[in-house]
Structures are given as structure tokens and as C-alpha cells.
Structure 1
Amino acid sequence: MEEIKSIIENKTKCFFVSPHLDDAVFSAGEFMLYLSGKVDIAVINIFTSCGDAKNSLSARAYLKQCQSDDAKKLFEVRIDEDQRTLDSIDAKVYNLGYTEALWRRKKAPHIVRKILAKYLVEFDRLHPIYRLDINSGKVKKEDEELIDKIAQEIKQITGNSKNIQIFCPVANGDHVDHVLVREACRKAFGGDQLIYWSDVPYSLNIAKKNSYIKDNGLKTRVFEIKSDRKIKLCQLYESQFKQVIPDQKILYRPEVFYLNEKNKRSFQVQIKTSIDGNLLVQWKELWNESPFKNFFNSPAWFLACQRTFRPKSIFILACFEDTKMVGILPLFISKKYQVKTYVCPGNQYFDNSSVLLIDQNPDILISLIDELSKYGNFYLCELEQTIANIAHTFIKKLGVTKSSICVYLPLMPDPCRYISTRNNKVILKTLKEEQGNFELKTFSGNMRGHMETIAQIESESPKKAEDKDIFSDPLLRELYINLEKINEKSFTINLLYYKNEPICYRYGFIYGNTYLDSNTAYKSTHSYLIPGKIAALFLLGELVKMGIGKIDFSRGDNRFKREFTPYSYQQYSIFFSS
């Protein structure tokens, strides 16, 4: 997130304007942790009261989730939790005391409503039903005056200093309190001065579009999660954590922020149906420079797929800013359900999408997808969530669906930090009993030289019995041979030897600071030695020595991967039918 450097260098005071008593930490906790001790932080909580504490059915349901029957006591607990949590990161706290939507009353209810409210409190509630009212995103007329009041109070707290930065929700999920806070911040400071956070957990529902992002042309910033500090911080909200966070693994996903593009950029898209030397040079430069590169949007992967699958036609959309390539979407023309469709290259063998961008300015992706949609149907698989979100938010008539979960591990500070005590004991016991009998050999390149060894291990593995072996596929072998012809250093091959016999393999690809762990298998006859875990443990140590910062365990979520890491990211497919 490039704005961080300026914030820290200028000692800019950061105000996080939070609708409720946990929203800022759940949505931007890792970023706040990073800023703590470097700049002054303050959190302004807006809706911190339950008003008259008379409970509608929706309010009762919420209290039941929190295992409480007293709204006032619950809010006292929540205020205390919030204070202790924010004290731990040296953040100053302001609670403005506005009534939360579940308890907000109508200003002047009709006499009939007043009478009926004695029997059913919903009759004098401004937002009586959570799903129909609070989650609608619609600001009712009686709520509009709150925007002005909140804006004035926030301005009083932040003062007249120009060296401040305001963070607030972008209001994913359309919770009315989040919308009110966003609009109050916008009124107080103007949209250009705000950095919006993506609201957790509402932002997980990618199918629900946030029109505000599109209408204001907001650009995206991503802040990576590199430790479990955020989870520990969020867990301090004991009354809310289990109710709000459906699965704590979502807190390991990157935090997403939005801000206005102050200088509008101009892009042009060119269509290429063949690859010449100039295009290849520009593509390589973009791939080397992009922080969003992966092995499957590299020129080497495309060229190897072209040689292997021999498509009748290729279709490459290249996006330029002046003469500089800033995005590329290389595709094959194929058939899906017997209909001509533009697809990512690689059949079932790729783990990530082929789209490559210099940054997450939405206009680059929009330019590429808009141009592509002029030519017919397309189906783009394995897009990471931020890119899928941009596409779904800004482009009409676009379908989106979840495709896969990818598990990964930041290797620092300790690659073994998430291995359970029980698993650690089993591994250490095996290593002690077989001391000196294991050796991991790592090879850079020469997949052809090791292909028979890998195929032999796989033929004697549980994968063979389950009909999941991949090296019996001649097309995959051809693809790997072509990859190595284009780039002889494509592969990193790791063979685990037991008493000089190869019993397990792991191979993958290194790009940038990441190792993509593509495939593994071990001989069934040696399963008692837990060779998969031993090889993975040795590999983690080797990667640290090589200076690799992250291991990506590729598509698929399973128990074995989770024994090493809680981190994962969701991928999506987007599609368009003309």
C-alpha cells in the first residue's frame, strides 16, 4: 500500500471512524497494528448506545447470539472490550454515543403506532427488521440529519490540522450505520481526503455489489496479512468475535482499502493474434515489474501452453498507458459447452489466472474486460478476490462464482510456527528414530532428467490407487518439457531420499519472492515414515535459506496443508455471455 510511506514519513495522525465498537479492528486491524508506534492513531466510534434498550425481535436475536439478555449490559461490555483492545495498540478512543440502528426510534410516531408499540416495540423503531431495513443500504429521511451531526462532531475531534488521514468504511454489505458513517465522513472531509476500508465480514459476499465504489471510480489498495497478530487483536472482542467472524481464517486474508484516483489516467487496448518480439519484451518487463505476477500470467507459461495445446487461435489484449504496457490478458479461443469462448491458457493445469496488471487501478482491468466483451463469450478462471471484485463491481452483465481456495504461508519469522504440538512431536520422533537416514535434495531445473524418478514415486503412491496420478498424463509431460525448453530454470524439484532411495517428491516454481508448491507424492510402502510431512518440513527450511518469503500450496484446501498454515485466499471465476 503505497500511501503508507507518506503517512509514516510525515507523521500523519490517523483517525479511524468506526460505525460500531469493533468494525475498525475487524476490517483494518493489521494496518492499525503496522501504524502503531509509528504515528498517532485514534478511533472514533459512532454508534455506541442501545438507546432505551427495548428490544425488537431482531434485537433479541442479536442478543441471543451474544449470549446476553440485557442490551445495556452488553454495550457496557463491548465498550470495555473496545477500550482494552485499542489501548493495546496505543490508540486513543472517542465514543460518540449515537444509538445503533437496531434500537433507533422514530422521531414522532403516529398516535396509533405509540399505542401499538406498547405491545410490539417494532412499531416505534426506525429500523424494525434487520434484513429488510438495516441491511437495505437506504438512508431513511429521519436518519439524514444524523449525517450532519456526526460530520460536525468528527470535525471537532480531528481539529483543523491538515496533517491527518481519515479512514472510514466503504459500506460493503449496505448496513445503514456503515452508510451513514461513510456519508458523514464524506461530508466532513470530502471524498478525496478519505481512505475507505472494505468492511469485514460483509466484503466476503462478492456477489453483492457496492455501487459506491463504481460510482466514485475508487481505486484499490491491498495490505497483506503477515502474522497472526490481527486474530489475537480481534479475539479481544470476546462478546462479538464468534458472532461476527464465521471462520477466523478469513482474518488472514489481505485487508482491502479504496481511495479516489486524483489524477485520471488514460489507457488504450490493442488486440494481438500473434506474438512478436516487441510484445514479448514488453510482456516480460511488465511481468518483472508487477507485484501481481504469478507463474501462470508469465510469457513462459503462455508460450509453453501454445506449443502443447496448439490452439487454432490466440487472442491477447494488451493495455497501454502512452507507450508503456500496464496490463495484459492472454487468452486461447476454445469451446465451452460447444460454444466459442475466450479462456485462460492451460486447460486444467493452471492454478492462477492469466490476467496481469501493473497495479490495481480499476480502469486497467475495466479497459481489458470491456474490450474483450465486444468479441463474445469469455470464461476467466482463478482470479484472486480483489481483481474479481473490481470486475464484478465495475462491469455490467458479468457473472461471478467461487472457483478454488489456495493455501499459503509467509515463511518469516518461523516457517514451522503453525505446526501443532502433536504433529511436531510425531515429526521429531520420526527424525530421531531415523537419524541420518533422510536427505532432501533440491534441483533447479532439469525436470526431464528427474521425470522418470517422479513418475516412479507417483506410480507407487496412494494417488495411483485413487486414480489421481498426474504423470501418467502425456499432455502434462509435454507441457513440462515445453516449459523447460523455454526456461530451463522453470522448475524447482525436491526429492526426499530414505537410505539413498527416493521415496517422496515435491516440485514447484519460483517467481519473485514466492515458491509455488505444485505437486507432491510419496511411496505407499514408506507411509509409516510420514514422508510428506518430513519433505515439507525440510523444504520450508531450504526455502528460507534461499531467501524465499512465501510458499503457495496451490489450489485446493486440505488437512495436510492446514497442518502448516492457517492462511488462504479465495479465487473466483468470472464469465460473460454475449
Structure 2
Amino acid sequence: MLTNLPRLQRSLLGNNPWLFLSPHLDDAVLSCGALLKESTRARDITVATLFTETAAPPHTRAARTYVSQCAAPDAETLFSGRRAEDRQVLEHLGVRYVHLGLADALFRERHPVPGFEVLKRWLPELVYRYPTYRFDIALGRISRGDKALIAALRMSVGDLLDQTGAELLFCPLGVGRHVDHVITRLVGSFFPDQVVYYADFPYCMSFPLEERFIGEHGLESGTWDQELAAKQPMIRGYGTQADALFPDGQIPVVPETYFASTQ
């Protein structure tokens, strides 16, 4: 269980608020749904999702492929549906939600330059910060153009911690190296006295843990196995994503894994 994580164990004994950072409109529930279900009975919990928006077309081939995989007619319809799903799942769970309104990596544009609209019309890959999934987003290399975004996120999360009075800040470990997850992890690491990292599900079933990050930050791990059965209907509430994430229709029931410093 959580015997190696005194920070989380101590907090579980009380009822102080928690703040969860979710890169996308499903990640907090996918990775932490069981802990959310159990803990919302005792405390106020807020889930803040960072990357909740798209951009005006035309889009890259990678972005169009993603929209097609989600069986949506266009990106705006997809993201409108995803925001609605998130609201419904979290409201039913009794958790507060905040959508920070940043563009998903697939739709994050570079700073405009002369001829920007012409370039976007004829070769959109040239105007997006992460033009491909495999060679950009999935490698976890943060674009220099996201430097200001990260600074703004640091301030926004600091404000949210103050507003919510959160004792703990949960954020992804970045398993799978999706750049939005890596950015969210980086933002969480700016608050070392409060942060607890969670293993990104279902990616933690296919990709190795970030051992270097774990070692550099002196993190220990612990698992949570209560309320696991309650996660399945919650995950299915994200209908635009569930079929793509679990194409065989089976959602594995596995303990959630958390990481924190013992200091």
C-alpha cells in the first residue's frame, strides 16, 4: 500500500483539500480514479485540466488522424464533447473541475510570423510546435516555444493552490513521454513540498517508468487498491477516448501507483 509515502499517508488521515493536475480531459480519472472516489467523501478535491482546447483548421496529418480515431467530424466537436464528458464524470464524482484552456500539443501553434496563414493553409506542419506524434509529441522533448506557457502554468497552479488551500498537488510521472504529460510533471515539480506523482494509466502498462526522474527526485512508490472496480464506469464516461484506449473493450483493473519524496 502507501507505507513508503508518509506525505500521502499523513494527508489521508485528515481532510485537507487536494489539487490534481490532469494533462488532458481524462488523465486524472484514468490514473487516480480510485483514490478520487475514496477521498472525495472526506475532503474537497479539484481537478485542473491543462490542455483542453484545439485550434482553428487546417490541422496537421497527425491531428486529423487523432480526430478520425475518435470518430469525430472535426476537432472542435471532439474537444467540446471531451470537455462535456469531463464535467459530467467529475460532477457525478463530487469533484470540482477547472479547465485551463490551453491547446493540446497536437494543436499548439508556433508564434505567428509573416505568411503564417499561407503556410498553415498549404503545409500546416510548419506552423505547429509538435507537427507529428511519433517524432515530436511522443518523444517528450519540450519545444522552446512552450517556455512562456510553462511559466504561466507555474503561476496558475500556484494561484490554484492558494485558492483551494490544497495540502497536496498530484501530477503525472510522465510515463509514455507524451510532451503534455512531461510539461505537467515539470509544473508539478515546482512545488516539491506538496507534490505527489501518479503513474500514467494505461501507459504505465506498456512503457517503462521514468527511473531517472524517480532517482533524481528521491521518490518512493506506493500503491492504492481500494475502489478499483468503481473506476471502470468512470473511465467509460469518457466515451470519445475509451474505445481508442481500450479497443478490446476490456479496462484492466490494476492498483494505482503513486510516488513522492520521503522528506
Q: TM-score, normalised by structure 1?
A: 0.43
Q: Secondary structure at the match of 1:257?
A: strand
Residues paired across the two proteins, number: 259
Match of 2:53 among 39, 49, 53: 49
| Post-superposition offset of 1:163 | 5.3
Match of 1:253 in 2: 254
Match of 1:145 in 2: 148
Letter in 1 for 2:43: V
| Post-superposition offset of 1:261 | 2.5
| Post-superposition offset of 1:248 | 5.7
| Post-superposition offset of 1:87 | 0.7
| Post-superposition offset of 1:251 | 3.4
Letter in 2 for 1:155: G
| Post-superposition offset of 1:37 | 1.2
Match of 2:176 in 1: 173
Post-superposition Cα deviations, 1:127-158, rounded to whole Å, max 9, x if no partner, equal: 00011000111111101111110111122222
- Matched-pair contact (CA < 8 Å) for 1:27–1:198: yes
Distance in 2, Cα, partners of 1:49 & 1:161: 24
Q: 1:143 to 1:219 in 2, by over 3 A?
A: same
Q: How does 1:171-320 map to 2 (within 5 A)?
A: 171-187=174-190, 189=191, 191-207=192-208, 209-225=210-226, 227-246=228-247, 249-262=250-263
Post-superposition Cα deviations, 1:478-536, rounded to whole Å, max 9, x if no partner, equal: xxxxxxxxxxxxxxxxxxxxxxxxxxxxxxxxxxxxxxxxxxxxxxxxxxxxxxxxxxx
Q: Secondary structure at the match of 1:42?
A: strand
Distance in 2, Cα, partners of 1:249 & 1:222: 22
| Post-superposition offset of 1:23 | 0.3
| Post-superposition offset of 1:161 | 7.1
Provide the aligned C-alpha RMSD in A.
Answer: 2.0
Q: 1:229 to 1:53 in 2, by over 3 A?
A: farther
Letter in 2 for 1:237: Y
25-34 vs 222-231, greater mean Cα deviation: 222-231
Percent of aligned pairs sharing the same letter: 29
Match of 1:58 in 2: 62
Post-superposition Cα deviations, 1:284-328, rounded to whole Å, max 9, x if no partner, equal: xxxxxxxxxxxxxxxxxxxxxxxxxxxxxxxxxxxxxxxxxxxxx
The structure with more helix, counted as a fraction of residues? 2
Q: 1:39 to 1:48 in 2, by over 3 A?
A: same
Where do 5+ consecutive residues of structure 1 fail to align? Answer: 263-578
Distance in 1, Cα, partners of 2:118 & 2:168: 47
Distance in 2, Cα, partners of 1:160 & 1:79: 22
Match of 1:67 in 2: 71
Q: 1:28 and 2:29 equivalent?
A: no
- Matched-pair contact (CA < 8 Å) for 2:228–2:255: no
Letter in 1 for 2:105: A
The structure with more strand, counted as a fraction of residues? 1
Distance in 2, Cα, partners of 1:10 & 1:225: 18
Q: 1:198 to 1:141 in 2, by over 3 A?
A: same
| Post-superposition offset of 1:207 | 4.4
Where do 5+ consecutive residues of structure 2 fail to align? Answer: none
- Matched-pair contact (CA < 8 Å) for 1:36–1:90: yes
| Post-superposition offset of 1:21 | 0.6
Distance in 1, Cα, partners of 2:259 & 2:118: 46
Distance in 1, Cα, partners of 2:217 & 2:254: 25
| Post-superposition offset of 1:185 | 2.0
Letter in 2 for 1:78: R
Q: Secondary structure at the match of 1:228?
A: helix
Q: How does 1:404-483 map to 2 (within 5 A)?
A: none
Post-superposition Cα deviations, 1:196-217, rounded to whole Å, max 9, x if no partner, equal: 0100122112447553223222
Match of 2:135 among 123, 132, 138: 132
| Post-superposition offset of 1:58 | 0.5
